[in-house]
Amino acid sequence: MAIELRVPSLGESITEVFIGEWRKQEGAQAASGENLVEIESDKATVELAAPQAGVVTKILKKKGETAAVGEVIGYMEAGTAAAATPKTEAPAGDAKPAAPSHVTVPDETPIAASSKNGPAAEARVMPAAAREMAQRGLQPSDVAATGPGGRILKEDVVRQGSAPAKAPAAVATVAPPPAPAKSHPVPSVGLNVGGTRQEEAVPMSPIRRRIAQRLVEAQHSAALLTTFNEVDMSSVMALRSEHKDQFAQKHGAKLGFMSFFVKATIDALKMVPQVNAEIRGNDIVYHNYYDIGIAVSGGKGLVVPVLRNAERMSFAEVEQTIEHYGKLARDNKLTLDQLTGGTFTISNGGVFGSLLSTPIVNPPQSGILGLHAIQERPVAKDGQVVIRPMMYMAFTYDHRIIDGREAVTFLRRIKETIENPSRILLEI
């Protein structure tokens, strides 16, 4: 009897999902509980497990397609692969069975499947990725695709950069990207340029659409304003340098700057409770707990996992949790519960080299703290010009609930705490 594979319910507000990578192709054996396919919602990526041991007999929704919650996306048959698909067995005289060759090489499945559709299927290799593959001597089959619809992105090729380079002959076999939907001839007059300029439309993933929706919502529904300050990181850097080895040895996690800023932020939130509040209808709701969201860059876009009751966490627990969330984000394994809620958000653009920015509030929160790159700059100290490691901080807030005085007080409190981190321990 056929077993239906249906899209599970992922939350009240989620009605449509995006089909990701199929871990098991048609004809493949799956054990009970083994992951069959990735399913992306606008909030998180989950995996659909096999309800019982059997064989995947039919895939109705391919990678890159959308499906409704509750919709059947494939079928299984209980039993073994030999029993469910006897026609795939090779003749006795054939020394090379055909069936396993397309099941046991999942990395090549998207490329092989796309080749059936002719040259148009090569659009799965983005132009920037094709150039990067040519430079590195890679072929499409060498790269694991993570883009929408099975497309190979430039980041996928860079990630594969540790693989050994191939012979120059292999580079010549890399097919160029296909003719795109739109092509604009480049005038030759006055330009030493040939060929055409290419465009390709790539569907937005559900999580990217959700990110866009919430950012626009924040701009339209809140009165956003940003205030700035700078902080001398000398004391925190000295403290971190002194204890980072012992900290890592005892707790199994690196002592970073984020735990200092989480603690300093909680201290400032207690001083200015409006920043930890939200507007709900005509009411201002004050939270007596501190769920701090930490913005991290994941495989599918920016996500904000939440440190629940961060005020009760030690430095080690903050660092361990952030490190754990970062790994889950890279593997697209964050759950809905880990991403929902939050009373305040910290975004660290400094890890990418950002010097200054104006972060956007994550509604319904009322504020977000933006951290930036640390640079040595000349500053005045006690009448002398000295060189100090300085960081710009940006605090974007909803002016409907937070006035300028509270915003400046909040950011200055963080500055004072970071420049004198002993305040965290003494609670002064």
Active-site annotation, residues: 399, 403
Strands (E), 299-399: 301-303, 306-307, 344-348, 367-381, 384-398
Structure tokens at 296: 């991290």
Cβ neighbours for 366, distance < 8 A, ≥ 6 positions apart: 222, 274, 275, 276, 277, 278, 279, 397, 398, 401, 402
CA distance 137 to 171: 5
Residue 277 CB coordination number (10 Å)? 23
Is residue 295 a contact partner of residue 345, using CB atoms and an 8 Å limit?
yes
25 vs 384: CA distance, rounded Å: 69
Q: Which two tokens stand for residue 253?
A: 């996690």
150's tokens? 């099975």
Q: Say how far apart CA 140 and CA 148 lie, in whole Å.
A: 16
Residue that is written with structure tokens 């064989």 in the block: 55
Which amino acid, one-letter code, is at 9?
A: S
Give the relative orientation of helices 404-419 and 258-271 as an angle to the nearest 10 degrees: 140
d(CA 421, CA 233): 10
Contacts of 88 (CB under 8 A, 6+ apart): 27, 81, 98, 99
- Between CA 337 and CA 344 the distance in angstroms is 16
Amino acid found at 357:
S
The pair of structure tokens assigned to 73 is 């996306």
**106 Cβ contact partners less than 8 Å away, ≥ 6 residues apart:** 23, 25
* Six token digits for residue 269: 């939130």
Q: What's the CA gap between 389 and 418, in Å, rounded?
A: 12
Sheet containing strand 66-68, edge to edge, reads 45-49, 35-40, 16-22, 66-68
CA-CA distance, 347 to 326, in Å (whole number)? Answer: 13
DSSP 167: P
